[in-house]
Amino acid sequence: MFETTGIIDREFYNKVKSTLLETRQKAMFFGFIILFLLCAVFLDFSIIFLIGAVILVAEYFWVINRTIKMSLGRLKERVGSDAVRTTTRFLEDCVEITYEGETTETVAVKYDVFNSIIKHDAAYILRTEFKQAVMIFRENMTPEEEAKLLAYLKTKPTKIKWK
């Protein structure tokens, strides 16, 4: 069994905010921004395209900040605090997450709903099909423990496409 513990709060979300949107969503945002900027350079009405690019950049940051605010709000609704001590345990048939705030809540997530894993300096983020995230805090893990955990996850029936 593997176990990690860490604090999920605004500071943590600010560290991992580059992972909050899927690659496809980021590519769409930046693709349209580049398209608008190219249109601004090569076509008439360049000010309209330039304004469109600025609006898309602002919307990108708004979406990320809204995601952080919603995630913290959900934590506060569930356990009464927006700075939550989280323990993630990898059991034989599921991942068990315990959230400790003013109250304590434990959630079990079966392995077969995970479809991606994102590596970040602060954490590994396991994502489910419906965009829920399980945080695996890396701060207290050695590289050997990380390798063992990833090897363990590869033995489980996830939908993660391992490279």
Tokens describing residue 21? 């949107």
102 phi, psi to nearest 5 deg: -70, -30
Specify if 159 maps to a domain.
no
The letter for the amino acid at 11 is E
User: Tokens 């390798």 identify what position?
Assistant: 147
Mean pLDDT of 119-129: 88
Specify if 44 maps to a domain.
yes
Specify if 161 maps to a domain.
no
Q: Are 57 and 49 in contact (CB under 8 A)?
A: no
Domain count for the chain, please give it: 1
Specify if 160 maps to a domain.
no
pTM for the model stands at 0.77
Q: Is 163 a residue whose pLDDT tops 70?
A: no
Specify if 163 maps to a domain.
no
